[in-house]
Structure 1
Amino acid sequence: MNQILAAFIFFTRLPFWKIKSVPDECFKHVVSYWSFSGWLTGGIMAICFWGVSQILPVSIAVIAALTVRLLITGALHEDGLADFFDGFGGGRDRESTLRIMKDSHIGTYGVLGLIIYYLLGYQLLSSINPSYTPFILLCCDSYCKFVCSHILWLLPYARKEEEESKAKVIYSRQNYKEETASAIGGLLPLVFMPHSFFITLPVPILVFIYIQHLLRKRLGGYTGDCCGASFLICELSMWFSIAIVSGLIR
């Protein structure tokens, strides 16, 4: 339970640290329990969407759901996505890419990346039957975090030392026990997903495989920013495929 609590503390701004203090060592394992934080963020998004959609248009409910996750996480993953686009857009080699990604200032590529991401996300979620949307928000969040947690299996950490990490922590690679826990966190919520959307499950896996190939080629590893960017891109790809399937089955 310490590792799950550490994941909630690390990946959200909610005051879970008041419940119980956890050893620093637990924060090296938070990616293994990342999918469980999806139960919280995805669940709150789902509840927010459902509640707002009862009194306001679906488009407003989508914006409210996306906004509430930003507030819960402190835009942690969005910061990674912006740095990812800045680094890969402006960097010419490994060293310059890592240097740009560590810079706290956002650049043109990061701004454009976030704008395009949210425009696509808003349009995709607004196009889906709203009776399905709460379940999609919950399932995509936790499932894509489970998929992207495998970045620790496939790649080494790209920077040289822990001090070079913005989070001041280097994640530990999962053991088989943690992999099982991650799978439970990512796959269990899928019982709430309409069966017609199961065909979309391979899409974020394929996108993730491409991203990790890109990271291996460009950086020779991953960073914390790459984890956040991978999650958001994979989740967007799943929303995209669900929107397509949803249009086909109408």
Structure 2
Amino acid sequence: MNNIGAALIFFTRLPFWRIFKVPNEYFKQVINYWSVVGWLTGTVMAGVLWGASHVFPLHIAVVLAILSRLLITGALHEDGLADFFDGFGGGTSKERILAIMKDSHIGTYGVLGLIFYFLLLFLLISSLPLHIACLVIMAGDPLCKFIGSLITLRLPYARNEETSKAKMVYRSMVLRTFILSAVFGLVPFIVLLPMKYWLGAILPILTFLLLTSLMNKKIQGYTGDCCGALFLMCELSFYLGIVALYTYLV
């Protein structure tokens, strides 16, 4: 429970610290339990979408659903996405990329990246019928967090503990944590989505491989910002795949 408590405290702004008294060493494994948090954020986002759609037009409900996750997470992943775009867009060396990503100011690449990310996210969710959109959100959030967490198996951490933003280096998965993360990541996907939509998982896997290859080439590792960006881009590609499948099947 300490590992799950640490993940809930780290990845959300909800007062889980009142419930869990977690020693600091457990926070080094939070990424291994990331998919557990997806059950919470995905369910809340889908619940807000479902509830708000019965009061407001669908496009307003989609905005409120997106806003609900931003409030729960404190825009943690979106901050990482902006820093990722700034660093990899404006940096020409490993040292420069890492320095830009650590800078608290947002640049042109970060602004443009967030604009197009939110625009595409809004359009993709709005393109699906309400009941399918809710199921896709509840399945896609933990699935893509599980896929994103595999970065610890593919790349080393690009900073040391002293120079990292969070002042810690994530531990790589062992077999036990991999199995647990896989269970939490895959069960909603398998249970909630009809089999005809399972091909939608191909795009986030390809996105993971592409982005981690880019990270390896540019900075020979990953950072916390890279994790946030990786999750959001995998999730976005998952929605792209689902919308493409829905359009083709209909």
TM-score w.r.t. the length of structure 1 is 0.98
What is the CA-CA distance between 1:194 and the residue it aligns to?
2.5
Matches within 5 A, 1:21-32: 21-32=21-32
Which residue number corresponds to residue 226 of structure 2? 226
Matches of 1:70 and 1:169, distance apart in 2: 24
Ranges in structure 1 where 5+ consecutive residues have no aligned partner: none
Matches of 2:202 and 2:30, distance apart in 1: 24
What is the CA-CA distance between 1:54 and the residue it aligns to?
1.2
What is the CA-CA distance between 1:195 and the residue it aligns to?
2.2
Aligned sequence identity (%)? 53
SS, match of residue 201 in structure 1: helix
What is the CA-CA distance between 1:141 and the residue it aligns to?
0.5
What is the CA-CA distance between 1:20 and the residue it aligns to?
2.1
Which residue number corresponds to residue 156 of structure 2? 156
Matches of 1:199 and 1:240, distance apart in 2: 11
After superposition, the C-alpha distances for 1:97-131 in whole angstroms (9 at most, x for unaligned) are 00000000001100000000000000111001112
Matches of 1:188 and 1:172, distance apart in 2: 24
Matches of 1:203 and 1:13, distance apart in 2: 30
Q: CA RMSD, aligned part only?
A: 0.7
SS, match of residue 104 in structure 1: coil
What is the CA-CA distance between 1:151 and the residue it aligns to?
0.3
Which residue number corresponds to residue 109 of structure 1? 109
What is the CA-CA distance between 1:168 and the residue it aligns to?
1.3
Matched AA of 1:37: V
SS, match of residue 131 in structure 2: coil
Which residue number corresponds to residue 60 of structure 2? 60
What is the CA-CA distance between 1:142 and the residue it aligns to?
0.3
Matches of 1:211 and 1:51, distance apart in 2: 35
Matches within 5 A, 1:178-193: 178-190=177-189, 191-193=191-193
What is the CA-CA distance between 1:199 and the residue it aligns to?
1.2
Matches of 1:174 and 1:46, distance apart in 2: 29
Matches of 1:194 and 1:64, distance apart in 2: 26
Matches within 5 A, 1:195-210: 195-210=195-210
Matched AA of 1:170: V
Matched AA of 2:161: E
Matches within 5 A, 1:109-128: 109-128=109-128
SS, match of residue 5 in structure 1: helix
Matches of 1:101 and 1:109, distance apart in 2: 12
Matches of 1:169 and 1:74, distance apart in 2: 20
User: 95-104 or 128-137: which moved more?
Assistant: 128-137
TM-score w.r.t. the length of structure 2 is 0.98
Matches of 2:85 and 2:166, distance apart in 1: 19
Matches of 1:194 and 1:2, distance apart in 2: 34
What is the CA-CA distance between 1:154 and the residue it aligns to?
0.6
After superposition, the C-alpha distances for 1:164-189 in whole angstroms (9 at most, x for unaligned) are 11111110001100000100110111
Q: Does 1:42 align with 2:42?
A: yes
Matches of 2:74 and 2:168, distance apart in 1: 18
Ranges in structure 2 where 5+ consecutive residues have no aligned partner: none
Matches of 1:22 and 1:139, distance apart in 2: 28
Which residue number corresponds to residue 72 of structure 1? 72
Matches of 2:49 and 2:197, distance apart in 1: 19
Matches of 1:145 and 1:169, distance apart in 2: 20
What is the CA-CA distance between 1:248 and the residue it aligns to?
1.3
Which residue number corresponds to residue 172 of structure 1? 171
After superposition, the C-alpha distances for 1:48-71 in whole angstroms (9 at most, x for unaligned) are 000001121111111111100000
Matches of 1:84 and 1:243, distance apart in 2: 26
Matches of 1:249 and 1:174, distance apart in 2: 37
Given that 1:38 and 1:141 are in contact with CA atoms closer than 8 Å, whether structure 2 keeps it comes out as yes
Matches of 1:195 and 1:67, distance apart in 2: 30
Matches of 2:73 and 2:195, distance apart in 1: 29
Matched AA of 1:195: M
Matches of 1:19 and 1:80, distance apart in 2: 27
